[in-house]
Amino acid sequence: MLNALTGEKLAITSPKVQTTRHRILGILSEPDFQIVFSDTPGIITPKYKLQENMMGAVQAATEDADLALFIMDVREDIDKIKAVFNELLVKAPKILVINKKELVSKAKLQEIKSAFTESQWIEIIGISALQKTGTQDLLQLIAQNLPENPAFYPEDALTDRPLRFFISELIREKLYTQFRDEIPYQTTAVIRQFEEKKTLTKISADIVVERQSQKAIILGKGGRSIKQIGQAAREDIEAFLDRKVFLELHVKVRNKWRNKAHFLKEYGYH
């Protein structure tokens, strides 16, 4: 949804839950308004320190928001979603956004909306981030409910994150799309070298795993899997940077890195 609303690929996507691990700012500047989106991880019960940090990002976003968008999938259980939303103590005005409306009939969408008639919402809106239907209506709704302030960022700013962050995320996205089960959740990508030369950008990155068996899976027979990851990531990075890229990937084993503070800090999860 962040990508659909800003028109830029700022957040990686995959069919797996918990793809988003960081709080990412997306800045949309229009002649009449500037909206600073704060995209957060999904709400979960933390099981290790990485997830605790992820939920810390959610809490930080709720504390300084002028407006909160609570986003649900049309296919999710309404009672469970209500319970999760009720656990979040958000002082800002709230809009309920029902995403993927293209998957249900108009009657079903209205049924879902009717289940959320509580006064806690200033508006309930259905959209399709994939098809970008209803997104302009949502933008106008957001702009109408924001307080008047000077713009926080220059009009050409897109985000507060550096290039290295987005490159590491693009690599991590390929891990989520190529591997199943626990592999994506126990891996991360860390940029070790980023050097802009005349004809190309040279990038060296580590893929961090927790066990030797995971390293073997990511490397693949004869290095086949990591070559596929590298090729897919390089193509996306070249499109993102708009220039040729030389990408070198290494796999490092760091036992239980998701539960160790020094690793989380080194890998940008503090």
Is 3 in contact with 128 (CB distance < 8 Å)? no
**Is 207 within a domain?**
yes
**Is 253 within a domain?**
yes
Is 135 in contact with 129 (CB distance < 8 Å)? yes
Distance between CA atoms of residues 66 and 61, nearest Å: 10
Task: Find the domain containing 236 and state its range.
Answer: 163-266
Query: Total structural domains in the chain?
Result: 2
Dump pLDDT digits (tens) for 126-153: 999 999 999 999 999 999 999 999 999 9
Same domain, 175 and 57: no
Instruction: Report DSSP letters for 212-257, one per residue.
Output: HHHHHHHH-GGGHHHHHHHHHHHHHHHHHHTS-EEEEEEEEE-TTG
pLDDT at 180: 83
**Is 153 within a domain?**
no
**Is 206 within a domain?**
yes
Is 126 in contact with 101 (CB distance < 8 Å)? yes
**Is 229 within a domain?**
yes
Same domain, 167 and 120: no
The pair phi, psi for residue 240, each rounded to 5°, is -70, -40
Same domain, 81 and 140: yes
Q: What is the CATH number of the domain that holds 13?
A: 3.40.50.300
**Is 155 within a domain?**
no
From residue 244, alpha-carbon distances to 121, 204, 229 in Å are 47, 14, 17
Tokens representing residue 230 in the block: 């590298």
**Is 106 within a domain?**
yes
Query: pLDDT tier at 43 (50, 70, 90 boundaries)?
Result: confident
**Residue that finishes a domain, picked among 116, 144, 172:** 144
Is 27 in contact with 157 (CB distance < 8 Å)? yes
Helix (H, G, I), strand (E, B) or coil at 27: strand
Same domain, 132 and 190: no
Average pLDDT over every residue of 171-199:
94
Query: pLDDT tier at 84 (50, 70, 90 boundaries)?
Result: confident
Same domain, 251 and 180: yes
